[in-house]
Amino acid sequence: MADLAVVLKEAAADEGAGENMAKCSFCGKELEKGTGKMLVYISGKIEYFCSSKCEKNLLKLKRKPVKARWTATAQAEKKKGKGA
């Protein structure tokens, strides 16, 4: 974790009105202003999390959003495969 900047901030603290709402990097849920966490890597990459569940699944457990059945990306993938 040497490349992580331990910078956790309120997710949308300096964003404008509800227009530019961030999406959770894991599950795809839209974050309300003033909620969630924002993780900034040293490289400049930014990840947003709506809950500690999403944060732990991505960072600690190293899970892929497509394999977690409850995420929006997994549900979209399932729907895409079902229609074919």
pLDDT for 21: 86
Q: The domain containing residue 67 runs over which residues?
A: 4-83
Task: Give the separation between CA 59 and CA 38, rounded to whole angstroms.
Answer: 13
Distance CA(52)–CA(78), nearest Å, equals: 25
Counting the structural domains of the chain, the total is 1
* Cβ atoms 24, 31 nearer than 8 A: yes
**CA 8 to the chain's CA centroid:** 13
Selection from 61, 78, 58 nearest residue 69 by Cα? 78
Query: What is the residue type of 46?
Result: I
Provide the residue-wise pLDDT of the chain in tens; the chain has 84 residues: 444 544 455 444 444 445 678 999 999 999 999 999 999 999 999 999 999 999 999 999 999 999 999 999 899 988 988 765
CATH number at residue 36: 2.30.170.20
* pTM score, whole prediction: 0.69
